[in-house]
Amino acid sequence: MRDRGLEKLILLSSATLDGLEEYQVQSVLTKNLSNPRVRLSLKRLPVQQMRPLAGAPKGASWLATVGRSEQASYGHILRVQVQPRPQVQVLQEWVSPEGTLPYWQNVLEPELRDGRSQLVVNRSQGIERDYAIYELTETGDRPLKQITLNEGKGLPPRYREGLRLASVGLWPDAQQRLNQLFLELDQKSQPIPFYVQQQYRLIAFHALKSRELVQTTKDDMGQQIVALASIGQWQEALSLAGQSEAHGIQGAIALQRSESALWRRVEVSLAFNSSPEVKRFGAWIMLTRDGWRRAEAWLDQQQARTPEALELLQRLDLKPIALAPQQILGAVTSVAVPDGSWLLAVPELPPGQSWFVVDVDVLRDRQTWRMTPFPDLGDRAPRFVWRTLGLHNNNRLGVMISQAGQRVFGGTLVIHSLSISPSGHIRLLTTGDQQLRTALPQSGMLPLASNGSFLSTPSGEVKYLRDMPPAAQAALISHLYRDLESLGQVSLTPEAFQQLVQNWTVLSLPLNGDDEPDWLLQLDRQRLDVGADRSYPLIFAFRHDGTILYSAIQSREQWLNLLPGAEPRQLLTERAGRFWVQPLR
């Protein structure tokens, strides 16, 4: 109103707004999780702005308050009316994980250009298309009435089937079921209840949005695969995943993020559709989530274990792991006939060849050497393990044995199959020349198989022990003498022993990663004889200050070699019929 040239604003109606409680937002964000954990927080999340809603019906102004968290946008729906009396109403809270502002759209009668619009709240997350649809009604206390999929009574089974399919997100299949229902009712001249028509429109809207998702994910192969599966196109999803290894890897990664939602679809779909494609996709989910053995067992339960299904699973086990093997080290034994534990096809034994088994004790993982077991591989498909070990590129191993105290090349093994324990211990079935079978029992060392370089002599700067720093020299000599005393009486006094070792040579090289040169002492039997039951040369490793790192006398393991790689250096040893790795620190 105006008074003497002054314009005044008069408050006619008001509404008090609080921010949304945090648990309201969390309940939407966790809605589609298998085991949602919503923290009951009464903390209020603030709203920062107010926005008009697009497509709003005439007769009032429709606004939304808007707040944003890291995971969603949220707020309130407001209606501002002037007639018949000024009024501001707070009608509904809203949450949108995708950050979409609510809008008005004709969902129930899209074929009518001037049909009434409904309020749409986009609650979708990932592959789950989820839209809350509210119809404007002036009856009752709440002008906005949500259209739900609550089950009506007295309708044929196809109706319940359609709602069940819709409840897990199989919207196109649900729409198809209701189409069949409507055809049946039409043939019987039975009317379609109004609420069922509304439910059909709700399902059709979601089916449309689900198909649109498939179209919008074509640039992301992993999302394309799970989007296809989300609308029940199981065969298309499997075919796309199987087109290449890159597709399969992207699919496996995307599957991890959506496995709960897709598993619900598989379970419900199997109630109506027992086709092999549904079962194979379900097995792929099991493989990604629970491992190879559970996936095999599930196929057995579904009576779907076929060579084709197992072949597909072998190709689709592509979920990346951190382990990146570059070299195998293992102990070799001969066997007469392979048993039934091997997971890949075992060929006929070639003429002049024998069977050998390699127990993989050590793998080089980039710059680190790791000992069995390898849990990352314990429940993966056999072909995945084969590829991970690099056997698809090189399935040959060299064998090192010891003859007359010298390490020599014993022959070549060809790998044909493998077995994997649940904990991740790997065995390789190989063939090799029959002469190697004879040589193995005569080897003075545990026969060592490897697909990389063999053990080499450590290299470093050669120095006389007398030229070491005095403190380090004294500590080193003291350790050596105490080790000898542990074996019995020493023929030399400590002073005489100190004089004896002055002309011994040591290698100066980094061992324990502290950026200081350390010491490696190698003694043949002529210099130090501690009995025929010892393996020579005797190896002793010391820190730069003379602190002992390894003693051939005190250690239970036999030193074989320093392994190449990052510092602190790792040591390959042999004990009790297997190879071991230990850090020098």
- Backbone φ and ψ for 70, nearest 5 degrees, come out as -65, -25
Q: What is the pLDDT of residues 335-347, one digit of tens each?
A: 999 999 999 999 9
The pLDDT of residue 41 is 62
Q: What is the DSSP track for 28-65?
A: HHTTTSSS-------PEEP--EEEEPTTPPTTSEEEEE
Q: What is the mean pLDDT of residues 491-495?
A: 90
CA distance 281 to 34: 18
**Nearest of 516, 558, 562, 522 to residue 540 by alpha carbon:** 522
Tokens 């591989």 correspond to what residue? Answer: 377
Whole-angstrom distance, CA of residue 153 vs CA of residue 139: 24
Residue range 40-51, pLDDT digits in tens: 566 888 898 999
Q: Encode pLDDT of 222-237 as tens digits.
A: 999 999 999 999 999 9
DSSP secondary structure string for all residues of 127-152? TB--EEEEEE--SSS-SEEE---PPP
Q: What average pLDDT does range 466-480 have in this prediction?
A: 94
**pLDDT score for 118:** 95
pLDDT at 358: 98
Q: 10 Å Cβ neighbour count for 255?
A: 25
Asked if residues 580 and 559 have their Cβ atoms less than 8 Å apart, the reply is no
Confidence of residue 305 (pLDDT cuts 50, 70, 90): very high
Give me the percent of the chain exceeding a pLDDT of 70.
95
pLDDT in tens, 128-185: 999 999 999 877 678 899 999 999 988 899 999 999 999 999 999 999 999 999 999 9
pLDDT, one tens digit per residue, over 245-291 is 999 999 999 999 999 999 999 999 999 988 999 999 999 999 999 99
Report the C-alpha gap between 63 and 102 in whole angstroms: 9
Model confidence band, residue 1 (pLDDT cutoffs 50, 70, 90): very low
Torsion of CA 310, 313, 315, 318, to 10 degrees: -150
Please report which confidence band the pLDDT of residue 461 belongs to, taking 50, 70 and 90 as the band edges. very high
Higher pLDDT, 138 or 492: 492
Position 134 scores a pLDDT of 96
Phi first, then psi: what are they for 480, rounded to 5°?
-60, -45
Three-state SS at 75: strand
- Per-residue DSSP letter, 566: S
Give pLDDT, residue 97: 95
Segments making up each domain of the chain, as ranges? 2-146, 220-318, 325-450, 461-583
Residue 415: Cβ-neighbour burial (10 angstroms; 0-12, 13-18, 19+): buried
Find all residues with CB under 8 Å of 28, minimum gap 6, and list them: 72, 95, 97, 123
Could you give the CA distance from residue 568 to residue 282 in angstroms, rounded to a whole number?
45
Of the candidates 552, 558, 548, 525, the one whose C-alpha atom is nearest the C-alpha of residue 539 is: 552
The reported pLDDT for the residue numbered 87 is 83
Distances from the Cα of 355 to the Cαs of 104, 202, 330, 351, 383, in angstroms? 74, 65, 15, 11, 21
Cβ atoms 548, 479 nearer than 8 A? yes
CA–CA gap between residue 553 and residue 539 (Å, rounded): 9
- What is the end-to-end Cα distance of the chain in Å, rounded? 87
Q: Is pLDDT at 478 greater than 60 in this prediction?
A: yes
Better-predicted residue by pLDDT, 58 or 213:
213
Average pLDDT over residues 321-330: 96
Distance CA 204, CA 183 (A): 16
Mean pLDDT, the chain, as a whole number? 91
List pLDDT tens digits, range 384-417: 999 999 999 999 999 999 887 788 999 999 999 9
Q: To the nearest whole percent, how much of the chain has pLDDT over 90? A: 72
Could you check whether the bond before residue 373 is cis, i.e. omega within 30 degrees of 0? yes
**Burial annotation 58-72 (CB, 10 A radius, 16+ → b, else e):** eebebbbbbbbbeeb
* Secondary structure class of 328 (helix, strand, coil): strand
pLDDT of residue 575 exceeding 50: yes
DSSP-H helix ranges across 273-421: 276-290, 292-301, 307-316, 382-388
User: Does the pLDDT at position 308 exceed 70?
Assistant: yes
pLDDT average, residue stretch 86-94: 89
Over residues 61-85, mean pLDDT = 90
Q: Domain 220-318: which topology?
A: 1.25.40
- Rounded Cα distance, 171 and 209, in Å: 9
Residues 62 and 150: their CA atoms lie apart, in Å, by 28
Mean of pLDDT values over 108-135? 90
Please determine, for residue 465, whether its predicted confidence score (pLDDT) is greater than 60. Answer: yes
Task: Say how many CA atoms lie within 13 Å of 267 toward its Cβ.
Answer: 10
